[in-house]
Structure 1
Amino acid sequence: MSARRRRAAGGHGGGHDGPDERWMASYMDMVTVLMCLFIVLYAISTVDQDKFVKLKASLATGFGQESSETVDTASGVVVPPEAVDEKGEGFIDASTPPTESVVENEPTAAELAELEVDNLEQLEEQLRIRLEQAGHAQRVEFSIDERGLTVKLVGSETFFDGNSDALRPIAREVLDTIGPVLAGVPNRVSVEGHADPRGTSGRFPTDWELSSARATQVLRRMVEASGLPGARVSAVGFGSSHPLAPGDTPADRELNRRVDIVVHSMQSDAVRSLIPGVLAGEEAAPAAVPPERGG
């Protein structure tokens, strides 16, 4: 029982039954002070420059910052700068050489022109098949140029009565055949009306009004009956300012009285300017070949 408890229990005070251990507190304080002294002495001692340089080089090599032929490094997973992706999460195995990234070459303008011609020819073939199935293949002509694919409605008398903008039944059949195909492509479409230079009579004072009215009727039919989006289709009348045939024979007038549906190319001007050369059979310029990488 301790002295305090003995006093509380009514025992006699005075005396000490065990050894006095208060000296241990002073001893522990002294040891702590000595430890702090040695730590300070070590901290202010001279650093071995050679060992410091080796440690620095080893750490830098291990983290892939620089190469070293004299410092031995660990063979774990390291991240060289060239292997880090945009998010900083790229890792490669240090035991295998990094895989070279493959950079795909951008297509040249000539290659894009060839691809655009292929796309336009496929669209033309699709329209031809639909017209043949409907029995109207002979009523439409096609041409491809730098603007795109032009669908020519041959002979205005087939599609319109004389000096009239009202679509004839056969015209509606042809437009209802090609309209759904054009509605399924993203290209911009323009409807261009033309007239022969003989002039008009009736309610149209000039060829401008007649050609514009016919182009508008063709546009309306494709938009309302075939679902061609109105936001990417337009109509324009050229009157008799763009004749296909310079003469005044019945055949010439038939060619000049026409409505053209132009499916415009979506390529840039530089690419579209190469389309006539591709159609003429000129070879496309070869694509640039990337330089060989050192092995």
Structure 2
Amino acid sequence: MSSGRGRGGRRRAQHEEEHVNHERWLVSYSDMITVLMALFIVLFAISQVDQQKYVALRDSLAAGFNTNAAPSVLDGSTGTLDGASIVPETAPASSTGGMVDADAGLGTQGANPSSVPGETIDPAVLEAARREAAHLEGVRAQLTALLEANGLGDAVRFRINDRGLVLGLVADDVFFAAASAELTPTARQVLDVSGPTLVGLAESISVEGHANNIPVSGRYPTNWELSSDRATQVLRHLVEVDGVQPHRIMAVGFGDARPLVDGVGEDAIVANRRVDLVILSSAPEAVRALVPTLTGTEG
């Protein structure tokens, strides 16, 4: 009797339903929330605002809508995108309305930092650009004085760009005859007058020959050879006669590929037959980019 009940009890136990876990979905839900949290952390980490680009966009939008000032997109905000919080202060003006004495001789643009494109320039970069501009202006003034003292004031055309100080030796039968790379007496005199100043500089010098677009004949197959020979003759004179250190100077010919004056008229023919002496600035690129604006001699 008892054994029957035992067997019946076991049979009943075998038919009991297994307990169902109704909270198992929480595991998958927790995994999904964890993945989403990691995703948002990564998105936040890679979405930090480039402040300089933000301010440039702000100023561009302000100029496009002809507003007098460049307001912040989030005006009044105290968060990360507050435009006022990321614009560095410009250098203060002196009591007379100008800048510090280091800006002397840089023209009206160099005297007012607000005239420099963009008001978010690193003050250290701006100050370095002012020093470099003053240095190049000083070299130009020194060379101009020497040339004028020797009656050669009109023989060289100076300009300052983001590469440095350019001495344009325009041929015009003063430095080279047509289709010739032989230095004229005037060309040698200009180089000899400029040589001592060039020797005393620390910068490298690039001698760049150019030709007009008139096809050559005879000794030179093309304008490439002609322009290269002109640059080489200037380089040799500066090194062999005037004492410029060879490791500081190089020569290159551009043929007629980089005209100073476009067209085929007489002015273009004369102006493009030239050699440029480029005193290469050793300042960083960001500094050199500001120098033409500070000197007011972009070109």
Distance in 2 between residues matched to 1:250 and 1:225, nearest whole Å = 33
Give the letter aligned to residue 223 of structure 2.
D
SS in 2 for 1:158: coil
Aligned to 1:191: 207
Give the letter aligned to residue 184 of structure 2.
R
Distance in 2 between residues matched to 1:246 and 1:277, nearest whole Å = 24
Q: Which 10-residue stretch deviates more, 109-118 or 245-254?
A: 245-254
Q: Is 1:122 aligned to residue 138 of structure 2? A: yes
Pair 162,277 (structure 1): closer, same or farther in 2 beyond 3 Å:
closer
Which one has the largest radius of gyration? 1
Shift of 1:156: 4.5
Aligned to 1:150: 166
- Assess if the C-alpha contact under 8 Å between 1:120 and 1:148 holds in 2: yes
1:280-295 counterparts in 2 under 5 A?
A: 280=296
Aligned to 1:203: 219
Of 143, 155, 177, the match for 1:139: 155
Scaled by the length of structure 1, the TM-score of the pair is 0.58
Q: Is 1:165 aligned to residue 145 of structure 2? A: no
Give the letter aligned to residue 127 of structure 1.
L
Shift of 1:189: 0.3
RMSD across aligned positions (CA): 1.5
Shift of 1:159: 0.8
Give the letter aligned to residue 210 of structure 2.
H
Shift of 1:157: 1.8
Aligned to 2:192: 176
Deviations 1:248-281 (A, max 9, x none): 1111111111100000111011111121332349
- Assess if the C-alpha contact under 8 Å between 1:190 and 1:263 holds in 2: yes
Query: Following TM superposition, where does structure 1 have runs of at least 4 consecutive aligned residues deviating by more than 4 angstroms?
Result: none
Aligned to 2:291: 275
Deviations 1:59-110 (A, max 9, x none): xxxxxxxxxxxxxxxxxxxxxxxxxxxxxxxxxxxxxxxxxxxxxxx97011
Distance in 1 between residues matched to 2:236 and 2:264, nearest whole Å = 31
Distance in 1 between residues matched to 2:193 and 2:289, nearest whole Å = 31
For this pair of structures, how many residues does the alignment match? Answer: 176
Give the letter aligned to residue 198 of structure 1.
I
Aligned to 2:71: none
SS in 1 for 2:173: helix
Distance in 1 between residues matched to 2:287 and 2:207, nearest whole Å = 23
- Assess if the C-alpha contact under 8 Å between 2:171 and 2:177 holds in 1: no
Distance in 2 between residues matched to 1:145 and 1:184, nearest whole Å = 21
- Assess if the C-alpha contact under 8 Å between 1:156 and 1:259 holds in 2: no
In structure 2, stretches of 5+ residues that fail to align are 1-121
Of 112, 116, 135, the match for 2:128: 112
Identical positions, percent? 45
- Assess if the C-alpha contact under 8 Å between 2:168 and 2:274 holds in 1: yes
Aligned to 1:222: 238
Give the letter aligned to residue 290 of structure 2.
L
Distance in 2 between residues matched to 1:156 and 1:259, nearest whole Å = 11
Distance in 2 between residues matched to 1:161 and 1:279, nearest whole Å = 33
Deviations 1:130-176 (A, max 9, x none): 10111111111100011000000122421112211111111111110
Distance in 1 between residues matched to 2:176 and 2:264, nearest whole Å = 20
Aligned to 1:248: 264
Scaled by the length of structure 2, the TM-score of the pair is 0.57
Aligned to 1:59: none
